[in-house]
Amino acid sequence: MTTHLRWGVLSTSKFFSTKVLPAFTGCEVARLEAIASRNPEKARLLGIERVFDSYEALLADPSIDAVYIPLPNHLHVEWAMKAARAGKHVLCEKPLSMTVAEAEQLMAVQRETGVQIGEAFMVATHPQWLLARQWVRDGKIGALRAIQGFFSYTNVDPKNIRNKADFGGGALMDIGCYPIFTSRFVAEKEPQRVLGLIERDATFGTDRLTTAVLDFEGCQATFTCSTQLFPCQTMHFYGTTGHIEIEIPFNAPPDKPCRIFLNGEAAETPVLDQYTVEFDEFSRAVLEGRTVAVPVETAVGNMRVIEGVFRSAVEGGWVTL
Ligand SMILES: NC(=O)c1ccc[n+]([C@@H]2O[C@H](COP(=O)([O-])OP(=O)(O)OC[C@H]3O[C@@H](n4cnc5c(N)ncnc54)[C@H](OP(=O)(O)O)[C@@H]3O)[C@@H](O)[C@H]2O)c1
């Protein structure tokens, strides 16, 4: 029986090189064996066993089982489709696509090829989020009625993919996707309508300050995200009899426990690297024939909310999903 999954990565992305590559060393069943880059010299410096000078060449290698895609957002679906058609399982970075229609096309390819395709929301396998969801399931805060989120950083580098509108840059796509995903994850339902307010950067054309309201019918979620504000992140879940706060909801540190508060009292998670857990969990799901943590259907749901918020900001009113 196969005991591990053999991974290849498309690109020397900064996020991959600095966060995911070190996380692979702790993996038990995910094994990183190859990298492809437009710049193989740069890729060689990363110390990965095999280096390909094109993404196509890596996809053609029969010894690779699964492909990780940390490309700019506008290339996600194109390469996820190519990887799936080459028979590879795919873990693609968030947001999975630029539009709902594109994500649905990928869903069709997933069904046609039978490979597993997942969106790389590491929050879905982090113990602090599993605990928050369990507390809500167990009625620890009564009925969940309100969710408030915030996620911001400052990045005004015109060369960064986050500041390129045609690359799928902007706050909502880059980080607003997290409060949307975690609200849906903990509430375990889909919002019926959304409202969005967006301020765009005059030069980049990307949304640099976005606020949204998600109506989950009986539970209201609000969040603000920004690419040009002091870095902060927080998520709060308010119920009829209690409150949950996730102290570091998204950039959970690999070297210390995370704290999650129930009515002000802290619970701590073990020290772990959330990307190690993410790749091992995806690999185990594939090896054991289970559905991955964030399948493409779930990713379509997130894109539906993102698209709704963009539309609402233009139309100036509620958008029914
Ligand atoms: N899950 C998380 O916690 C997390 C955190 C950060 C970022 N991300 C996601 O990871 C993805 C990559 O983000 P990043 O910040 O690492 O981006 P990045 O440093 O700009 O890397 C993107 C890579 O894509 C390749 N590429 C191919 N065509 C390109 C093109 N036309 N323009 C630019 N690059 C191109 C390049 O690699 P080669 O030259 O080597 O081929 C480049 O290094 C995004 O989807 C982002 O949302 C996720």
Contacts of residue 109, defined as CB under 8 A and 6 or more positions apart, other chains included, come to 80, 81, 84, 85
161 plus 302 within the same structural domain: yes
Q: Which of 122, 152, 173 finishes a domain?
A: 122
Atom of ligand 1 nearest to the CA of 251: 3
Ligand 1 close to Cβ of residue 59 (< 6 A) = no
Residues 69, 83 contacting (CB under 8 angstroms): yes
CA dihedral 267, 271, 272, 273 (to 10 degrees): 100
CA distances to 170, 230, 240, 295 from 206, rounded to whole Å, are 5, 18, 38, 28
**Cα–Cα distance, 192 to 57 (Å, whole number):** 43
**Cα–Cα distance, 13 to 42 (Å, whole number):** 11
Cβ neighbourhood burial of 36 (10 Å; 0-12, 13-18, 19+): buried
CATH number at residue 37: 3.40.50.720
156 plus 245 within the same structural domain: yes
How many of the other CB atoms lie within 10 Å of CB of 20?
24
Which SS3 state, helix, strand or coil, does residue 37 take? coil
| Assessment of whether the complete model's pTM goes beyond 0.85 | yes
What is the end-to-end Cα distance of the chain in Å, rounded? Answer: 44
Contacts of residue 281, defined as CB under 8 A and 6 or more positions apart, other chains included, come to 125, 292, 293
Atom of ligand 1 nearest to the CA of 250: 3
How many of the other CB atoms lie within 10 Å of CB of 164?
18
87 plus 57 within the same structural domain: yes
68 plus 105 within the same structural domain: yes
Q: Would the pLDDT of 211 be above 70?
A: yes
Domain membership flag for residue 278 = no
User: pLDDT per residue over 128-169, tens digit each?
Assistant: 999 999 999 999 999 999 999 999 999 999 999 999 999 999
212 plus 310 within the same structural domain: yes
What's residue 118's pLDDT? Answer: 98
CA distances to 15, 116, 302 from 91, rounded to whole Å, are 14, 8, 16
114 plus 158 within the same structural domain: no
User: pLDDT per residue over 272-313, tens digit each?
Assistant: 999 999 999 999 999 999 999 999 999 999 999 999 999 999
97 plus 214 within the same structural domain: no
Domain membership flag for residue 279 = no
Q: Would the pLDDT of 2 be above 90?
A: no
Domain membership flag for residue 277 = no
User: pLDDT per residue over 215-229, tens digit each?
Assistant: 999 999 999 999 999
User: pLDDT per residue over 17-74, tens digit each?
Assistant: 999 999 999 999 999 999 999 999 999 999 999 999 999 999 999 999 999 999 999 9
For residues 51-66, one letter each, b for 16 or more C-beta atoms within 10 angstroms of the residue's C-beta and e for the rest, the string is bbeebeebbebeebbb
Q: Which of 122, 154, 189 finishes a domain?
A: 122
Question: Residue type for 69, please?
Answer: I
199 plus 100 within the same structural domain: no
In the sheet that holds 50-52, the strands lie side by side as 50-52, 30-36, 5-10, 66-69, 89-92, 117-119
Mean pLDDT of the chain: 98
111 plus 152 within the same structural domain: no
Q: Would the pLDDT of 235 be above 80?
A: yes
Contacts of residue 1, defined as CB under 8 A and 6 or more positions apart, other chains included, come to none
Q: Which of 9, 12, 13, 126 has most ligand 1 atoms within 8 Å of CB, for mutation?
A: 13
Domain membership flag for residue 291 = no
Q: Which of 92, 122, 152 finishes a domain?
A: 122
Atom of ligand 1 nearest to the CA of 120: 1
Q: Which of 161, 275, 276 has most ligand 1 atoms within 8 Å of CB, for mutation?
A: 161
User: pLDDT per residue over 74-114, tens digit each?
Assistant: 999 999 999 999 999 999 999 999 999 999 999 999 999 99
What's residue 218's pLDDT? Answer: 96
- Phi and psi torsions of 197, nearest 5°: -130, 125
Q: What is the tally of structural domains in the chain?
A: 2
Domain membership flag for residue 281 = no
89 plus 112 within the same structural domain: yes
Domain membership flag for residue 289 = no
168 plus 265 within the same structural domain: yes
Question: Residue type for 2, please?
Answer: T
Domain membership flag for residue 284 = no
86 plus 179 within the same structural domain: no
**Cα–Cα distance, 104 to 77 (Å, whole number):** 10
Atom of ligand 1 nearest to the CA of 43: 40
Q: Would the pLDDT of 1 be above 70?
A: no
What is the extent of the structural domain holding 48?
Answer: 5-122
